[in-house]
Amino acid sequence: MSTSVRSTAASLRVFLERIVDYAGLFPPASLDMRSSVDNYARYLRHPQGWALGRFVLPVSRLEEFRSARESAAAGPWRLSGIVSASMVSDLAAADAFNRKACGAVIDSVEVRVSKPEEIELVRKHQPAGTTVFFEIAPESADERFPDDLLSTLSRVGGCAKLRTGGVVAEAFPAVETIALFLARCAELGVPFKATAGLHHPLRCTRPLTYAADSPRGAMYGFLNLFTAAAIAWSARRSGGGAVGRSAVRRHLPAGRAMLATCLADPERANWHFGEDALTWSGDQPPVRIQLDALGAVRSNFALSFGSCSFEEPIQEMRELDLL
């Protein structure tokens, strides 16, 4: 184990464990399959490889992946398959891939749904041993998430997927929309993953793509998102011990203001990762998430985020003197 890993604070290690699902095939990186596979193999040997999660790819490109993967590092690799509108055939293809045992396994699939019947259809055909992340878009009318879909996920034990950005400013939901999503998922006990626009640790204004003439926009930070998720989850379940009684008193709907404050906080000085807890001091009084509660959040609620870069988030964490 490298020195950098040994010196990582215990709470930061728990916070970042397998947090980045590598999606180099997708914008704005949009790499070819060979480059993405080679990158992932290299990241597995990275000093912070413990922060690496699944390799994300469309189910329709599994054969291309198999060919590119033949000379890559030993596995098995954990994959997350993006399911297209052809849900049933894609799920069957994912199941067939897993049965061939070729050094990689699809242990999660991601699919966009707009009605409860689609959730039931996917569950009927999902490959054995997989977790399904159902991407749910907010309703444009009031930026709320369809409650019938979240309630269905709660009832059947499904997971949600939150899209937090894209390559245009309009793809980024409002802070209040994400706060509502986190609060409602915590209330219902629905785990989630996030994707898009989370390359940076903290809330910032940056270019939205890697192009020289890229437009700039406000982007969410993964420290913000996962800290806010920890607050929402722990306050609901701790009875006050994990985050302090003042935070617990600020449950829905007032508690969403606290989550929004955390999501919008750009200040590195407000985060402290210790050996026994994560402390965020961007609100008064400071919020303290103890190590066991933080582990429960990452295992049971805020599961991962997809990023087309693994090195960029890690490098920026180093620049912030966190790694």
Which tens digit of pLDDT belongs to each residue from 76-99?
899 999 999 999 999 999 999 999
Instruction: Return the bridge partners of 172, or none.
Output: none
pLDDT band at 72 (very low <50, low <70, confident <90, very high): low
Q: What is d(CA 214, CA 206) in angstroms, rounded to the nearest whole number?
A: 9
Nearest alpha-carbon partner for 22 in 323, 319, 312: 312
Domains in the chain: ranges and CATH: 17-230+303-319 (3.20.20.70)
Instruction: Compute the radius of gyration of the chain from its Cα atoms.
Output: 19
**pLDDT (0 to 100) of residue 238:** 54
CA geometry: angle at 105 spanning 101 and 78, to 5°? Answer: 145
| Helix, strand or coil, per DSSP, at residue 299 | helix
Instruction: Say if residue 63's pLDDT is above 50.
Output: yes
pTM of full prediction above 0.85: yes
Instruction: Say if residue 109's pLDDT is above 60.
Output: yes
CA geometry: angle at 149 spanning 145 and 154, to 5°? Answer: 110
What is the tens place of the pLDDT at every residue in 135-177?
Answer: 998 876 556 788 899 999 999 999 999 999 999 999 999 999 9
Instruction: Return the bridge partners of 109, or none.
Output: 81, 132
Residue that the structure tokens 């190590």 belong to: 291
**pLDDT (0 to 100) of residue 243:** 46
| Helix, strand or coil, per DSSP, at residue 287 | strand
**pLDDT (0 to 100) of residue 103:** 87
Q: What is d(CA 185, CA 309) in angstroms, rounded to the nearest whole number?
A: 27
